Amino acid sequence: MLNEIPVQAPDGQPFRLLTLRNDAGMVVTLMDWGATLLSARIPLSDGSVREALLGCASPEQYPEQAAFLGASIGRYANRIANSRYTFAGETVELIPSQGDNQLHGGPDGFDKRRWQIVNQNDRQVLFALTSDDGDQGFPGHLCATVQYRLTDDNRISITYRATVDKPCPVNLTNHVYFNLDGDKTDVRQHKLQILADEYLPVDEMGIPHDGLKSVAGSTFDFRTPKIISSEFLADDDQRKVKGYDHAFLLQAQGNTHTPVARLWSQDEKLQMEVYTSAPALQFYSGNFLGGTPSRGPDAYADWQGLALESEFLPDSPNHPEWPQPDCFLRPGEEYASVTEYRFIPA
């Protein structure tokens, strides 16, 4: 179902909202601005319905918030150090958006664009976006699509695809935040499992320097499920960024048939599984969410939502030595990244 909201987006046109439904009664709402995931409402076994995603009260609040709530991120998710990289002997200068670094594709990234609705029905929607040569400093003309599908086993399946006419790093993801308790509770009381043997330490600006580190014996070992708060801020790597905001190199290595992460609500009435073809998952514990508009009269506070972003490791264009696929897309190739969030009522 497609609805136009009589409120103007930054481009002067109305926001367009789309609703997906499945046979299990789950309802997902999306928006063309930023190809954004707005809401996911899951029926629980006790007959109640639970909202699993963070969101704002109305569409016009999304362009005003800085947390990237539910938005499609591109051309390059996460950070590129000093807003530059070198490819084939040439240095490419990008537009910074967080200090000296570029975050999430630049100050006018794909989250701040209207995506075109190519087709849609009650089970899926396909969005498309084009990006001109030089956009945010990136070379080449890029064509991107994202398809959101809602399956009958309560999966939100997200497929990003892209092509370019010049070599360019491409790293598309969705920046959805979860709180499986369905309210403005502290997500550090959720239980989390991440099936990863290594993580990437970063400095205070989220930039990696020394390469991957084993999770063994550290607060970053989520291979066995644990309550997030159990070792929160218990080491220097966390304290640098006020909690968890780190990429984990996944054991699955692109296998979309095995979960890479699991999340449980505090009351254990709702569980979520994550599947992805991406090499890494960025776990962000919402350390700087405070002040972000919510669906209610009060803004979100820090740590009231968490993100599990599927992507390449941060600053990958400057680190070809890392053990993951090449983040550079070349003419004639197609970028494709699939991520699924499956919701399981207890």
Active site residue 175: yes
Q: Is 245 marked within a binding site?
A: yes
What architecture is domain 2-345?
A: Distorted Sandwich (2.70)
Q: Give, for 80, the enclosing helix (H) or strand (E).
A: strand 79-80
Active site residue 204: no
DSSP assignment of 284-298: E--TT-TT---SSSS
Q: What is the separation, in whole angstroms, between the first and last Cα of the chain?
A: 29
Give pLDDT tens digits for 218-277.
999 999 999 999 999 999 999 999 999 999 999 999 999 999 999 999 999 999 999 999
Q: Is 176 marked within a binding site?
A: yes
Q: How far apart are CA 301 and CA 298, in angstroms?
A: 9
Q: Give, for 250, the enclosing helix (H) or strand (E).
A: strand 245-250
Burial class (CB in 10 A: 0-12, 13-18, 19+), 93: exposed
> Taking the CB of residue 117, how many other CB atoms lie within 10 A of it?
16
Residue 4: which pLDDT band, with cuts at 50, 70 and 90?
confident
Give pLDDT tens digits for 113-137.
999 999 999 999 999 999 999 999 9
Q: Give, for 239, the enclosing helix (H) or strand (E).
A: helix 236-239
Phi, psi angle pair for 135, to nearest 5°: -60, 120
Largest Cα separation within the chain, whole Å, is 60
Q: At residue 7, does pLDDT exceed 90?
A: no
Those residues with Cβ within 8 angstroms of residue 234's Cβ, 6 or more apart along the chain or in another chain: 219
Per the CB < 8 A criterion, the answer to whether 2 and 127 are in contact is no
Segments making up each domain of the chain, as ranges? 2-345
Per the CB < 8 A criterion, the answer to whether 133 and 166 are in contact is yes
Q: Encoding tokens for residue 291?
A: 């002040």
Q: How far apart are CA 67 and CA 284, in angstroms?
A: 11
**Which amino acid makes up residue 88?**
A
The whole-number pLDDT of residue 282 equals 98
Give pLDDT tens digits for 61-87.
999 999 999 999 999 999 999 999 999
Q: Encoding tokens for residue 32?
A: 């063309």
> Taking the CB of residue 234, how many other CB atoms lie within 10 A of it?
11
pTM score of the predicted model: 0.97
Q: Is 100 marked within a binding site?
A: no
Per the CB < 8 A criterion, the answer to whether 143 and 163 are in contact is yes
**pLDDT, mean over the chain:** 97
| Catalytic residue, candidates 198, 273, 309, 311 | 309
Q: Encoding tokens for residue 153?
A: 């086993």
Residue 2: which pLDDT band, with cuts at 50, 70 and 90?
confident
Per the CB < 8 A criterion, the answer to whether 69 and 36 are in contact is yes
The whole-number pLDDT of residue 120 equals 97
Q: Is 175 marked within a binding site?
A: yes
